[in-house]
Amino acid sequence: MDLIHSRRRGAQPAATPIAAALLAAAMIAAALLASGTAQACACGCGIFDVGTSSMYASHAGGMVFVEYDYLDQSQNYAGQHSAPAADNPDKAIKSTFVTVGGQYQFNRNWGVSVEVPYWQRHFQTTNEATGDMVEFRHGAAGDIRIKGTYTGSSADMSTGITFGLKLANGDTSFPGFDADTQIGSGSTDLLLGAYYLGRITQDNQWAYYLQGQIDQPIAHRDNYLPGGEVVMVAGAYYEGWKLSGSAKLSPVGQLRYAHRRPDGGPDGKPDETGYARVLVSPGLELEVGKLRLYADVAVPLYTNARGNQLFANEMWKFNASYHF
């Protein structure tokens, strides 16, 4: 989820040694997971869950949000290059994600967040028996994510550790959808992450953030084990554009790395799932009082797919949030 940038005025002190060590440990763990030879489904939906610095609080209080995400997976890839559509029996996967949720920071040390998604999916594929093109459409609640945040290791809350679970409540039984196309993964996942927020310039107009998250299934159905995922983000934004009144416009730039491992189990397709992607994501955020509006589009710079897989050439996002 991409909420709103946490505004931290004044120069930020360096993270404490403990905070720096925790962040480094999380990034090393992510790098180790990403270095595995195996790679999961081409959806890459977890990349939406790691976004801008706005998803982290700078003081006690709450926030509620609604987010809209869209991707049209219609480009077939094999390895590092686009491949003929005829090489893949699947032709298109169009997905709309609407997520509502919120976060509450109890004090300078601890916070909690909840995300409740709803998915609409259109799946176009080839009937194995007849060779005809068939289409399936389905909408259902997705897997809920619940996370805690610890920010007590740095005086200004600029360093944090996140931890939580993705639940297995999403629908996994829609006829016509493959195991890796179902709205729910059917697994309970452990979510572990870390982030750091800092200032680039002393006038506080330029800032940056680093984030990483591991999504690792720890319980799953007997017939399908979704692959684990690592997402890492480096971003920067400018806060010097003042509009009329209290309104402020901030351009945002992100570089995202996503790595999915292969599916397992009898219904998994390890030779046709798993990938690594690098995407660049320009965006804009508008702040008006307690209301924040954010939008971006992510486009790929590098793709390395295992087997033939469908990918989106753009990933669209819009988020509106209210802080209290």
Question: In this structure, what CATH number is given to the domain that contains residue 111?
Answer: 2.40.128.130
For 154, the domain range is 17-323
Residue 5 lies in a domain: no
Does position 147 have pLDDT exceeding 90, yes or no? yes
Read off the pLDDT of each residue in 17-35 and give the average, rounded to a whole number.
42
The per-residue pLDDT of the chain, averaged, comes to 85
Q: What is the dihedral of CA 76, 78, 84, 87, to 10 degrees?
A: -90
Higher pLDDT, 145 or 3: 145
Domain total of the chain: 1
Q: What angle do CA 146, 152, 155 make, to 5 degrees?
A: 135
Residue 7 lies in a domain: no
pLDDT class for 240, splitting at 50, 70, 90? confident
Residue 283 burial (CB count, 10 A): 22
The pTM for the full model equals 0.85
What the block records as the tokens of 214 is: 């591991």
* E-assigned strand segments in the chain: 61-79, 81-82, 90-105, 110-126, 133-141, 145-150, 159-166, 188-199, 206-219, 229-238, 241-242, 248-260, 275-288, 291-323
Read off the pLDDT of each residue in 175-200 and give the average, rounded to a whole number.
94
Residue 277 lies in a domain: yes
Residue 113 lies in a domain: yes
Residue 155 lies in a domain: yes
Q: What pLDDT does residue 4 have?
A: 28
Q: What pLDDT does residue 54 have?
A: 61
Q: What pLDDT does residue 136 have?
A: 97
What the block records as the tokens of 200 is: 């680039």
Q: What pLDDT does residue 17 have?
A: 42
Residue 4 lies in a domain: no
What the block records as the tokens of 230 is: 């690592």
Report whether 185 contacts 170 (CB < 8 A): yes
Residue 2 lies in a domain: no
Residue 98, by phi and psi: left (phi above 0), alpha (psi -120 to 50) or beta?
A: beta
Residue 3 lies in a domain: no
